[in-house]
Structure 1
Amino acid sequence: MTEKQIYQIGLTMINGVGDILARHLLQTLGEAEAVFAEKQQLLERIPGIGSVLAAEIKRPEVLQRAEKEAVFIEKNHISCYFLADANYPARLRECPDAPVLFYFKGNTNLDATRIISIVGTRNATEYGRELTESLLKDLSQIIPDLLIVSGLAYGIDICAHRSALRNQLPTVGVLAHGLDRIYPSSHRSTAVEMLERGGLLTDFPSGTEPDRPNFLRRNRIVAGMSDCTIVVESAEKGGSLVTADIAFSYGRDVYSFPGRVGDSHSKGCNNLIRQNKAGLITSAADLISALCWDVQEPITPVQTELFFSDQEPLAEQNPILRIMQKEKEMHINQLALALDMPVYQLTTLLFELEINGKIKTLPGNIYKLP
C-alpha cells in the first residue's frame, strides 16, 4: 500500500464530503494528496467547501482512519480502485455519482465485454426464481463470459448469484457494508464461492454496518457497473425499482419481465413497462436482441403449445384442462407438480386459457373450470 493510496482512501473518509464533492476537489486540486496538503484558508474558498468542511479535511483522524483501512485491505488481499486509475471500470466511471474509490475482493474482469445487473424483490416467488434461473441458463450457453451483477440480498439477488455460479458465469455482489462481514450471514457460503468466480465489491470501509441508507446508496453501483439492469420481479415499491430508476437516469437500458395484471409481486415490473422506463423481455433471446449483441449462435427457445382446436374433445385438447376436469379447483403449485412444469411456464399457459374463457382464476392463485 502506497502513501498515495492512503490519501485516496482518506478522501472518502472526510465527514460531509461525498463522491460528487470529492470529485470536485480532485478537479480543483489535481489529486488526493493535494487536498490534504492545501492550507485550510484556501480550502474554505473552494465552492461547496466552506469553513466547516475545510476543518473536517484538516482533522488528523481522517488520515489515521485511512491508514487503518489500508492495513485491513492489505492483510485481506483486497484491491482498491480509485476514480483516476486506468483500471477503474469504464462503465462506472461514466456515472456522475460514481464512487471516487471502492474496494473489491475476487477474481474477475470488472470491464468484461458484456455485463448485466439483475435485481428484484426480496420476497421472490417461485415464478420469479424460475425466470431468473431460466434466463441465466440460456445466457450461459450463448455468452459464457457474461458477468452478472447483483446485491447479494434475499430473493432475486441471491437467486441470480447462485444461478450464475451453477451455470459457470462470473458474478459480482455489491455490498451495503464493509468487506469485514457478510450480510445476510446466511449467504456467506455463496459469497465465498463468488470469490473464486466473480467477487464482492463495496465503497464502504470496514466497520460499516448494513444500515438501511447504505442499500439505497449501493444501488447506484449495481446500476452503473453494467450495460443494462433487468428487474425480474418487484412489488409496486422496492429497492429494485430505485436501481432501475438510477440506471434509467444514467441512460442505460432497463428491461423487465411482465407479470399478471393485479399480481402484487409484479406491479413494479408492469409499471416500469407501462411508463416506458423498461423494455419488455420474456427470454434470453429477447434480451440479446434488444441489446443488439452479436452472438455466434441464436437462441431458439422452446415454446410450449398455447393453442388447441375447439373441435377436439376436452380431454384431448390440453393437459391442463384434462387435469382440471378431474378437480373442482387447483392451486397453481398443485398444477405445476401435476404437469411437471415450471411455474413461470405454467403462468403463461393459464393466462392464455383464461383469455379464451377456458378457465377462471380465483384469489390466491386458485384456478377452476368455468
Structure 2
Amino acid sequence: MTNRAFNFNAGPAALPLEVLQQAQQEFIDYAGAGMSIMEMSHRSSIFEQVNDGAQSLLRELFGIPSHYKVLFLQGGASTQFAMIPMNLLSAGKSAAFVHTGSWADKAIKEAKLIGETTIVASSEADKFNRIPSLSEIQLPEHAAYLHITSNETIEGTQYAAYPETGDVTLIADMSSDILCRPVDVSKFGMIYAGAQKNLGPSGVTIVIVREDLVAESPKSIPTMLRYDTHAKNNSLYNTPPSFSIYLVGLMLKWVKEKGGVAAMEQFNRDKTKLIYDAIDQSGGFYRGFADAGSRSLMNITFRLGSEELEKQFVKESEKQGFVGLKGHRSVGGLRASTYNAVPHESCKALVEFMADFQKRNG
C-alpha cells in the first residue's frame, strides 16, 4: 500500500501492515468457523486456543518464568493503578513510587485513595526530563512494593537500568515500552501494560504477575478487581476483549518472525538514532527535551524556537502524510512515538522532512 500514513501516534499506535492484512483476511471467517473471532463464544475451543496461544507466545518472547501468571484484563493500565494497591497494599505498609512524570503521577494519585504512599525519588525539580538515578531511590522499611513507570510517553524518558529492590516487590508499568528490548522478568513481582502501543490494539491490558502475589487476593474487594479471580479462570472469568487478544497474538507472531525481542531492540535503536541524530546535529534548531542519559526508545520529545514554529511544523508535516507529531497538550512541543511497529522508512522520512523544514525556516 502506498497511502499508509507515517504514523507517530502515541497510542493507539501503529500496527504492522502484515498484521492488519492477516486480520482482514480472517475477519469474516476465522479458522473455518464460518464466523468472525468477535462473534464466537469465549468458551469455545477455538477461542481458548487463541487465548492460550497468545499467553504462550508472550512467555516465550519475553522469557517469563513458569511461576508467573499471564493475565489479559480490561480497563487499561489506568485501572491497574487502583487494582495494585487494592490487592497488594496492606495495613501498616506503604506503596513506594519513583515519580518520573505524568503517568507515574496518575498511579500515585490512585494509590493515595487506597492507602499510604511514599515517593522515594523524583525528577520533578528537573521538569521530569530525566529518570532519577538508582542511587537516589531510598526505600522505607515498611514498603509493600516499589512502583516504577518504565517509560514516560509524555516526557520521553525511559529507564536505562532497573532498581534492585531486594526483598521488596518491584512493579513496573511498561505500557509504552514492553517488548521494545529484553527484560529480566524475574526482577519484577509484576509487569503490566496496556496493549495499544507495542502489543496490539486498545481494549486489553497484559498483567504478568508472580503467582505468590495473586494466590489469595483480599476478600473485601470486588470480584472483578481481584487478581486471583482472573488467575484462577485463565482470564476468562467474564467475556474478554476477544478481538484485541486475537490481535495481540498476531502481533506477537510478527515480533517472533522479526527475530524476537533482541532483534526488536536493535531495530528500535537504529531507527530512533536517525531522529536523535537529526536533533543533535541541527545546531540548536531542534532541542531534545529529555536528558541524554534518559532518552526513550519509544517517544522522542523535542522543541523548536517558538510555539508558532512548532505549530507550523505540525501543520506542514500533516500535509506530507505525518500523523501524531504534536506533543501532549500538558507539555506542548513535538513528539515522535517510535513503537515497535513504526517502520524504519517512516523515521527516515521524518528526518528528511526535519532537514527540509530547518532549511526553509532556520
The TM-score normalised by the length of structure 1 is 0.30
Report which of the two has the higher share of helix. Answer: 1
Q: Which has the larger radius of gyration?
A: 1
Indicate the structure whose relative CO is greater, using CA pairs within 8 Å and at least 6 residues apart.
Answer: 2
